[in-house]
Amino acid sequence: MNALELKQLEKRYDGFTLGPLDLTLPSGAILGLIGENGAGKTTTIKLILDMIRRDGGAVRLFGKDNRESFPLGKEDVGVVLDEVSFSECLTAAEVGKIMRGVFRNWDAAAFEGYLRRFDLPEKKRFKEFSLGMKKKLGIAVALSHRAKLLILDEPTGGLDPVARDEVVGIFSEFTRDASRAVLISSHIVSDLEKLCDYIAFLHKGKLMLCEEKDRLYEEYGVLRCAREDFAAIDPAAVLGKRETPYGVEALLRREDAPRGMDVGRVDIEELFVLMARGGEGK
C-alpha cells in the first residue's frame, strides 16, 4: 500500500505555480524532498495536510483522499512544520496533557520518554525555549500519537550535530515497522543522503527528479576534464556544469559520457546543485 500519493497536484499563486506534481511514497519507505528556498517544499506539505486549498489534482493518504479522511486521517499523520508553535505559556508536560485530549491514540509514556531523551526541561515555558528545544518538542509530539506517516518540514533545522544525529536515527527507526513511512524535507542534504530510500528534487515548483537514491549514484556522475575535452561533448548531454579557469566539472548521465573518460561519483548535494543550475540555463 502507498502511504502517500500525489496525482497532478497543483497550486497557483501570483508569480508562482506548484506542480503538477506526481509523487508516490510506498509504505515502509523514507522519501527526502530537496529543494531551494521557495521551490515549493512547504507548499507541497501544506497541500498534503490540506492546510491550503489545492487548485487541481489529488492527494491520497493510505489510499484515501486527504479531504475525505480528515480529521480522522490526521491521527495517522505525525507532523513537524518548519516553525513549531505551541502556546507560549505552556511547559512541555502541559503540552502533553493537551495533546492527550487532541489525539485518541496519544501515548503519554512515549511522550515522556522523548522529553527525557531530548533533555527537555520540565519547568520551562515554551516562550523560553531555544529554537532547537522547540523543534525537539514538536518532534516528540509528532512521534507520540502512534502515527503511521511522518511529515517533516525541515525537522533538523536549528539542531546541533549531536541532536540531528539522534533525530535522524529516530526517523530511521520509525520505519522499522514496514507499515509506516516518512516524508522529510531538508536543506541538510547529508542528513537525507543516508536515511532516504527515495529522493525527490523540487525546483521552482516542478519535480525535477524522483528516484531511488541508489539509482541516482548509478545513473549520474561528474566528469572532470579540461575545457578542450569538454567542448567535444554534446551540450544536450550536459545536465549542469561548473567551470573554473582550469577545467570543467560536468554532470552527465553515465551512459552519455564519452568513452574512455572517467566519470566520478556524484553525491546528492552536488547532483542537486549542478542540476538546479543546469536547469536554469535551459
Partner 1 sequence: MNLWIDNKSSAPIYEQIATQLKTQIISGALREDELLPSIRSLAKDLRISVITTKRAYDELEREGFLYTVAGKGCFVAAKNVELLREENLKAIEEHLAAAAQLAASCNVSTAELAEMLRLLTEGER
- Among 178, 254, 262, 280, which residue interacts with partner 1 (rule: CB under 8 A)? 178
Site string for partner 1, 104-133 (x = CB under 8 A): ------------------------------
If one asks whether residue 176 binds partner 1 (CB under 8 A), the answer comes out as yes
153, three cell numbers: 518540514
Strands (E), 129-230: 149-153, 181-185, 198-203, 206-212, 220-225
Least distance from partner 1 to the Cβ atom of residue 56, Å: 31
Contact window for partner 1 (CB under 8 A) among 78-86, 166-174, 231-239, 271-279: 166-174
133, three cell numbers: 528545544
- Among 30, 33, 139, 147, which residue interacts with partner 1 (rule: CB under 8 A)? 30
Residue 88 or 214 having the CB closest to partner 1: 214
Closest CA to 264 of 210, 225, 213, 212: 225
Residue 17 or 172 having the CB closest to partner 1: 172
- Among 8, 72, 265, 280, which residue interacts with partner 1 (rule: CB under 8 A)? 265
Residue with cell 535551459: 282
Residue 17 or 190 having the CB closest to partner 1: 190
If one asks whether residue 211 binds partner 1 (CB under 8 A), the answer comes out as no
In eight-state DSSP terms, residue 262 is P
Q: ω into residue 20 within 30 of 0, thus cis?
A: yes
41, three cell numbers: 517544499
Give yes or no for a contact between 184 and 31, defined as CB atoms under 8 angstroms apart: yes
If one asks whether residue 10 binds partner 1 (CB under 8 A), the answer comes out as no
In eight-state DSSP terms, residue 258 is P
CA dist., res. 130 & res. 159, Å (int): 10
Judged by the rule CB under 8 A, the positions of this chain that interact with partner 1 are: 28-30, 168-169, 172-173, 175-176, 178, 194-198, 212-214, 217-218, 265
